Structure 1
Amino acid sequence: MWSAPEQSSAARFPAAGDPDWYVSGFAEGAEQLHGKSAVVDENVGSGRVVLFGFDPNYRAFTNGTAKLLFNAITGPKTANAPRAAAAPVAMPAAPTSDRMVISVRPDAADEVQRLIAERGGTADVVHGPNVVRFRVDLGGMNADEHPWGRRLADEAAALGRDVVAISLP
């Protein structure tokens, strides 16, 4: 669940007690949506970003939100939409090289560091706001040629949802 400033909210969920509030079927936690942003529209650079707090094309079934989605994709930049408050944070790009790159959420960084250290491996570590990248030195070999490269990739992948990406040379 998220909320946005009033000027950024293109649409909000109805307030508690509003007669327009309707839930069809089972909806656990629906009361937490009352009055929160459903759609946010902000100008960023020369374009715009539209965020949905729900899936506007759920099973291509929800006719009421089709126009919202269509306008988000094809509509013009809104003249009175606020500019995004924060400048985008540039994450250093993972260079293409002979290194394996393991990108994980910060919560999994210690575990990846442990997996690398167990093997006596070395890695350059790049910390971003939401991702930690490990550029693992495989000594010029690809992961399949390296004695433990493939195994490291497999064990890192087993960390599940905390893994953002794994790139093998």
Structure 2
Amino acid sequence: MSAGHDQLADDIRQFRRAVIPDLLLGMLRRMDDTEPNLLQVATLYVLDAGADPTVRDLAAQIGRSMSVTSRLIDPLVRRGWVDRDEDPDDRRAKRLRITTAGSDYLRAFEQVRAQAQRQLMTYLTDDEQRVVSEAMALLGKASRRHLDERDADAAH
């Protein structure tokens, strides 16, 4: 790894150390005592991708057993963040779908993260803020390409 990569990794690490505590504490302030765990939040993001996987499909995606995945989903269903319905083609299988409330939770999560990042940007000059905004736009484009490629691979 080159010195430039080492510096970039260190800069990213410092950025995360500045943002993540505000992000997590901000989310915890919005929730009651039964906040979702990290795997449940990641699962919501998997479901937010649009496909309505079966429990078996989701278990494969998140690298957990069917029984662990089913137990993982239960509190998300109780909260109204995920619907679990019978697969019309296979009555033994259950299809999972994120609900509007689940999507709303993720958008709130993202808003708290964005606010923490915007707060950090106040420590930059106007020119530095412009450069960061341009870089974030480029990362957004790269993310869209990555997701498009991943979706195309999954379709094959």
TM-score normalised by the chain length of structure 1: 0.23
Flag the structure with more relative contact order, 1 or 2, with Cα contacts below 8 A and sequence separation at least 6: 2
Higher radius of gyration, 1 or 2: 1
